[in-house]
């Protein structure tokens, strides 16, 4: 029998130490609460009395999420159990917190007890593992030939590469808006970035590429212990021929290698976005699928489906007519 028990963050950390990744970090939970007004709780899952997993749950009205508008790497206490059913887990969590809807989005990882009830999402993440590479030659050996050549090409343009501070937020946001318009995606408000930098502090880094003092490329990433996640890769189109994005990725990887990072998560991409996926694979990343588990009534699912279709239609309209 599967059960869920609410536990405090302090209790969990006392039992098992700090979580890997970011989705359960204090800074991440702070951001979820500050920007999305979510309540955060932790649940300890037991299966036939055996502690099995820890799940952070974000609550929004009568809806609950493993991570709202994001994905998690779940923390398992016991991966030896073979009869683990994810739909049962979703139902137990939903009943425990009294929600009408529960959604679990997580990246594939080693040690998953079973795949019963899992549904592959249209997304995958791309992860690069580092193993004490320090020199430029060490890092270049991780990449494919095309990527190595494009990195060398980008370095011949004499770009300035440096960490960008929050006092350049106006420049950061202007570059972000330019990229969102190009993709036809509704931009996040300035407040999103203000909350991001406020909550994550020094764990949120902005690595910029400048040409004659102009910000032409930017990687925004979050770091927690030995884990780094890229959350925004932004650049000006007129510098693509100079391989500015290759330089951004290389400099981010080099920074990670020199600062004790072991896992670099390049973030999610659509499975059919072959161009971006090849780009990430060229840096030695491995594809890891994102899985989804949802527990909700038929009416609730239908309403949510309609809202999502309407949102997608607005996106297509904005991209088609550049509005």
* DSSP assignment letter at 231: E
Identical fold for domains 2-117+290-321 and 132-282, yes or no, is yes
Q: What is the pLDDT of residue 311?
A: 76
pLDDT at 89: 87
Cα(231)–Cα(13) distance, rounded to whole angstroms? 26
Distance between CA 92 and CA 49 in Å, rounded? 14
Residue 313: its pLDDT value, please? 81
Q: At what angle do helices 169-183 and 190-200 cross, to 10 degrees?
A: 130
- Give the per-residue pLDDT at 306: 87
Considering only CA atoms, which of 243, 175, 164, 260 is closest in space to residue 206?
164
Per-residue confidence (pLDDT) for residue 86, from 0 to 100? 84
Domain 2-117+290-321 -> CATH class: alpha beta
DSSP bridge partners of 47: 2, 50
What pLDDT is stored for residue 83 in this prediction? 65
- Reading the block at residue 285, the tokens are 């990343």
Its pTM stands at 0.89
Chain position carrying tokens 């994102």:
290
CATH homologous superfamily of 132-282 equals Gcn5-related N-acetyltransferase (GNAT) (3.40.630.30)
Residues 6+ apart with CB under 8 A from 201: 27
Q: Hey, where are the domains in the chain?
A: 2-117+290-321, 132-282
Q: With a cut of 70, which residues of the chain have pLDDT below it?
A: 15-20, 79-83, 108-115, 318-319, 322-323
Q: What is the pLDDT of residue 217?
A: 98
């Amino acid at each position: 029998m599967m059960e869920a028990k609410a536990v405090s963050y302090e209790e969990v950390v006392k039992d098992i130490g700090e979580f890997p990744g970011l989705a359960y970090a204090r800074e991440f939970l702070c951001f979820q609460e500050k920007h999305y007004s979510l309540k955060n709780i932790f649940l300890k899952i037991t299966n036939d009395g055996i502690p099995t997993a820890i799940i952070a749950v974000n609550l929004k009205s009568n809806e609950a999420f493993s991570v709202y508008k994001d994905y998690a790497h779940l923390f398992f206490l016991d991966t030896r159990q073979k009869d683990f059913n994810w739909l049962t887990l979703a139902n137990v969590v939903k009943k425990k917190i009294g929600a009408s809807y529960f959604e679990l989005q997580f990246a594939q990882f080693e040690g998953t007890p079973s795949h019963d009830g899992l549904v592959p999402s249209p997304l995958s993440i791309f992860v690069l593992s580092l193993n004490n590479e320090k020199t430029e030659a060490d890092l270049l050996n991780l990449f494919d030939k095309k990527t190595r050549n494009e990195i060398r090409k980008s370095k011949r343009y004499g770009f300035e590469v440096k960490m960008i501070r929050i006092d350049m937020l106006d420049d950061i946001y202007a570059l972000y808006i330019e990229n969102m318009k190009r993709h036809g995606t509704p931009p996040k408000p300035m407040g999103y970035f203000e909350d991001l930098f406020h909550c994550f502090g020094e764990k949120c880094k902005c690595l910029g590429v400048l040409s004659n003092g102009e910000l032409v490329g930017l990687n925004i990433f979050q770091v927690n212990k030995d884990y780094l996640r890229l959350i925004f890769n932004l650049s000006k189109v007129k510098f693509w021929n100079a391989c500015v994005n290759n330089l951004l990725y290389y400099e981010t990887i080099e920074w990670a290698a020199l600062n004790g990072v072991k896992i670099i998560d390049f973030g999610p991409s659509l499975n059919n976005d072959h161009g971006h996926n090849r780009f990430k694979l060229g840096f030695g990343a491995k594809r890891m699928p994102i899985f989804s588990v949802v527990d909700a009534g038929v009416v609730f699912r239908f309403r949510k489906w309609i809202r999502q279709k309407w949102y997608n239609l607005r996106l297509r309209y904005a991209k088609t007519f550049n509005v």
